[in-house]
A = this chain, B = another copy of it.
Amino acid sequence: MSQGKIGSSTKNVPEKTSTMESILEQWRRERPDIDPSPMAVCGQIWRAGEILRKGVTENWANYGLDLAGSDVILTLRRQGRGATLSPSDLAKDMMLSTSAMTNRLDRLEKRGLVKRTTDPKDRRGLRIILTDEGFALADEMVATHVATEEKLLSTLTKEECSQIRQLLSKIEGAD
């Protein structure tokens, strides 16, 4: 997540109230000259993303991790046993500033899940590696992570899932 509390019970942050359709309705009334359907598409994508994010975050919390931590742990895990990445590699992979990565690694290192090792080829650089504990945690976590996602998507057929992938893949960044 982003605010370092794991199983927070009291919630200051409420659920979204207005439905997509009521929002469109308002815009049609206020600005009949504008076709608001692009808003609906974007809004639906963001909404779905939020729901999924919330679901997987709850699972990560069971391991005492937030989005920040699991992101790093799982990225390292999928490189394979013993593989390493530099802090810059990790930052690039998750579109984060390197300073944010320093902070994430500090926390994970303090928890004993990753280790900073020196890069033998470049004394400026570091290679980040999962500890045995981190590897084991990742290995356990990835199974429930995928199961969680499966559950969140269970109202969709396999066919519909691949339709979603295919359709959304057409939205391409300009960079």
- Chain A residues in contact with chain B, CB under 8 A? 12-18, 23, 26-27, 29-31, 34-42, 44-56, 77-80, 91-99, 139, 142-143, 146, 149-150, 152-153, 155-156, 158, 160-161, 163-165, 167-175
Contact = CB atoms under 8 A, between A and B. Distances in A.
Contacts of A54: 173
Contacts of A77: 30
The 9 A-B pairs of least Cβ separation, nearest first, read: A38-B149, A12-B97, A26-B78, A48-B168, A49-B49, A14-B92, A51-B173, A48-B171, A155-B170
B38 A153 contact: yes
Given A36-B146, A41-B149, A146-B34, A167 B160 contact: yes
Nearest to A37: B161
A146 B24 CA distance: 12
Contacts of A92: 14-17
A94 B16 contact: yes
Contacts of A152: 38, 42, 171
